[in-house]
A = this chain, B = another copy of it.
Amino acid sequence: MSPLKRYLPILDWGKSYSKETATSDLVAAVIVTIMLIPQSLAYALLAGLPPEVGLYASILPLVAYALFGTSRALAVGPVAVVSLMTASAVGELAQQGTPEYLGAAIVLAFLSGLMLVLMGLFRLGFLANLLSHPVISGFITASGLLIAASQLKHILGVPAHGHTLSEILLSITYHLNEINWITVGIGTGATVFLFWVRKGLKVQLLGAGLKPFLADVLTKAGPVAAVAVTTTAAAVFDLGDEGVRLVGDIPSGLPAPQLPPFDSELWLALAGPALLISVIGFVESVSVAQTLAAKKRQRIEPDQELIGLGASNIASAVSGGYPVTGGFARSVVNFDAGAATPAAGAFTAAGIAIATLFLTPLLTYLPQATLAATIIVAVLSLVDLGAVKRTYTYSKSDFTAMAATIGTTLFFGVESGVVAGVTLSIALYLYRSSRPHTAIVGVVPGTEHFRNVDRHAVITGDRVLTLRVDESLFFANTRYLEDRIYALVADRPNIEHVVLMCPAVNAIDASALESLEEINHRLSDSGVAFHLSEVKGPVMDRLKRTDFIDHLTGQVFLSQYDALCSLDPVTAHIAESRTPKKAAQSKVWAGPEI
């Protein structure tokens, strides 16, 4: 593929763009626009930013993704988890409502964009693999709870702040006497209405004989309806004077593009959060994109996705927005509505731009409680307690990482949560790898096969010890192997030969090589020869680069049966002369164990 085509996927899908495709894309764009307007206002609120910033983050970023992205259905824009992370990162550096706060959010988007582009160019997408599923799932569940809690203050109409569950709840409790009951009415009303729209409306509409497509569009328009009704009520009854917090004047018109100012101290302070936001945003986005692509047997290129999302974030920063990524619900809607190419995103951008230019005056009286209700209803679907239970049943170690992520996120904040989860899951993995599966093996009578002595009725002699190791040898497990071999030899005074059987060893790193040398050396000190068997080709090639084989006191056997015949012909002869026992006699069924 030419580099231009690789980095600009639009050149690929653009050349077969037809009128039909354009129609599909346009229909999808209209539905997504309707959904995105209240969402972008609400998520800006969640991020602690003026509402128009949410709109700005839903225009240019979509155009940038349409140029650079590879997913045909991904809908980019402000999302809940990234908005929460923005609030947490920026909140440490500036006071909400100040120009410094907005400036920091813009720089955060810019840094995150740069990092994503660089990760894409250097093909570092694999970094996202360090986030295990239980950690991501735990993080998103905890974020959902945290976001819902943070929106309570808008539903209650009290001032409150904080970035952890305890801070938020304490702060709300402290201000409980300031509850504004009209706000509570609007907030709970909107929440109940939106829950009903989400859970019950579609079924009722279908029952009333509406076409599925229309029923779907009406359901998606629920938040818009809530916004329209509460805004009208607030305007008619002048609820602002009753203490209901409204969105207020939104500057109409589009922001002039400009680069964020360079301030080394600020950039440095935001680098860590920007990296976390980039990785979390990428993981969320790429998994949505892959799910949707698979439904049409399309492919997405993870490294190019990094560039696409990076371009979106840079576009967001230069147009006064804040960090964005691909949203789950929104992308599914886009896909279901028939979006055929990334052009649907560009059309959505046009829709949002028109809304920003002409509709913002209508939103002056929009109660913040309505936006909080749309957030709460949206994020509670992120909370997946079933996944916590499933993980607990499947693997205690994965559950530990998940529980640590949830706990740390809720009580120490989002950044600590991600870092704790990743660190713990790597540590647990290294711990498990540091104890590789090994088995003493013997020959199955009447065959040339070798099996674990603990699971099968096999024959072994007392002069030769064969240990099969079922994992690649590397620094974290090599000491365990040494300890195990020394312990086995110390317990068996008659041993003359130790054979390490390596059919599952895909690699031997420098630490493991030194350990093998050490084992060879120490066994030779105690008069035992050390052999290898069934070493894979590539591993053997690498060993040949060293003088290990020259110093080896024993041999390298092609097969374990060769080793037995050569080192312990008596046992080999006994095994050969017996008829194979029935499989049923093996102690445990071990599957097709090698």
Copies in the complex: 2
Q: Determine the residue in chain B with the shortest Cβ distance to A493.
A: B297
B475 touches A536 (CB 8 A): no
B526 touches A294 (CB 8 A): yes
The CA of A435 and the CA of B592, in the complex, are separated in Å by 25
The CA of A589 and the CA of B558, in the complex, are separated in Å by 12
The CA of A284 and the CA of B367, in the complex, are separated in Å by 66
Which residues from B are CB-within-8-Å of A472? 471
Q: Is A593 an interface residue (CB 8 A)?
A: yes
A504 touches B536 (CB 8 A): no
Stretch from A1-9, A39-47, A56-64, A507-515 that touches the partner:
A507-515
Q: Is A506 an interface residue (CB 8 A)?
A: yes
Q: Is A480 an interface residue (CB 8 A)?
A: yes
Q: Is A21 an interface residue (CB 8 A)?
A: no
Central interface residue in A294, A490, A521, by most chain B CB within 10 Å: A294
B297 touches A476 (CB 8 A): no
Quick one: given A483-B302, A525-B295, are A394 and B513 in contact (CB under 8 Å)?
yes
The CA of A261 and the CA of B10, in the complex, are separated in Å by 69
Q: Is A128 an interface residue (CB 8 A)?
A: yes
Q: Is A171 an interface residue (CB 8 A)?
A: no
Q: Determine the residue in chain B with the shortest Cβ distance to A539.
A: B591
The CA of A196 and the CA of B510, in the complex, are separated in Å by 34
A510 touches B475 (CB 8 A): no
A476 touches B429 (CB 8 A): yes
Quick one: given A294-B522, A507-B432, are A536 and B490 in contact (CB under 8 Å)?
no
Which residues from B are CB-within-8-Å of A506? 437, 470-471, 504
Residue from B391, B510, B545 within 8 A of A132 (CB atoms): B510
Q: Is A209 an interface residue (CB 8 A)?
A: no
Residue from B470, B478, B546 within 8 A of A390 (CB atoms): B546
Which residues from B are CB-within-8-Å of A463? none
Q: Is A489 an interface residue (CB 8 A)?
A: yes
A537 touches B126 (CB 8 A): no
**Contact string, A515-554, partner B, CB cutoff 8 A, digits 1/0?**
1001001110110000000111111101001100000000
Residue from B128, B397, B503, B537 within 8 A of A589 (CB atoms): B537
A592 touches B536 (CB 8 A): yes
Q: Is A576 an interface residue (CB 8 A)?
A: no
A540 touches B591 (CB 8 A): yes
Quick one: given A126-B480, A129-B477, A129-B479, are A510 and B594 in contact (CB under 8 Å)?
no
Q: Determine the residue in chain B with the shortest Cβ distance to A392.
A: B510
Q: Determine the residue in chain B with the shortest Cβ distance to A471.
A: B506
Q: Is A486 an interface residue (CB 8 A)?
A: yes
Q: Is A95 an interface residue (CB 8 A)?
A: no
A129 touches B434 (CB 8 A): yes
Shortest distance between the CB of A497 and any CB in chain B (Å)? 15
B126 touches A545 (CB 8 A): no
Shortest distance between the CB of A333 and any CB in chain B (Å)? 18
Q: Determine the residue in chain B with the shortest Cβ distance to A422.
A: B475
The CA of A132 and the CA of B511, in the complex, are separated in Å by 6
Q: Is A370 an interface residue (CB 8 A)?
A: no
Interface residues of A in 429-453 (CB under 8 A from B): 429-432, 434-435, 437
B591 touches A537 (CB 8 A): yes
Which residues from B are CB-within-8-Å of A479? 126, 128-129, 302
A509 touches B589 (CB 8 A): no
The CA of A506 and the CA of B469, in the complex, are separated in Å by 11
Which residues from B are CB-within-8-Å of A475? 129-133, 135, 425, 429
Q: Is A249 an interface residue (CB 8 A)?
A: no
Which residues from B are CB-within-8-Å of A542? 394-395
The CA of A511 and the CA of B593, in the complex, are separated in Å by 24
A299 touches B425 (CB 8 A): no
A559 touches B592 (CB 8 A): yes
Q: Is A52 an interface residue (CB 8 A)?
A: no
Shortest distance between the CB of A485 and any CB in chain B (Å)? 10
Quick one: given A294-B525, A426-B426, A475-B425, are A394 and B503 in contact (CB under 8 Å)?
no
Which residues from B are CB-within-8-Å of A435? 126
A480 touches B129 (CB 8 A): yes
Q: Is A134 an interface residue (CB 8 A)?
A: yes
Q: Determine the residue in chain B with the shortest Cβ distance to A293.
A: B486
Q: Is A195 an interface residue (CB 8 A)?
A: no
The CA of A478 and the CA of B290, in the complex, are separated in Å by 14
The CA of A430 and the CA of B430, in the complex, are separated in Å by 10
A590 touches B536 (CB 8 A): yes
Which residues from B are CB-within-8-Å of A577? none
Which residues from B are CB-within-8-Å of A437? 506
A133 touches B471 (CB 8 A): no
The CA of A293 and the CA of B522, in the complex, are separated in Å by 9
Which residues from B are CB-within-8-Å of A478? 129, 133
Which residues from B are CB-within-8-Å of A474? 132, 429
17 residue pairs bridging A and B, Cβ less than 8 Å apart? A126-B431, A129-B430, A129-B475, A130-B430, A131-B475, A132-B474, A132-B476, A133-B514, A134-B511, A294-B526, A297-B489, A390-B510, A395-B509, A397-B509, A426-B426, A534-B592, A536-B593
Given A394-B545, A503-B592, A504-B594, 10 more contacts at CB 8 Å? Answer: A129-B430, A130-B475, A132-B510, A291-B522, A294-B523, A390-B510, A394-B546, A395-B509, A399-B510, A559-B592
Closest 7 interchain pairs by CB?
A: A132-B475, A294-B522, A537-B591, A398-B510, A133-B511, A537-B590, A132-B511
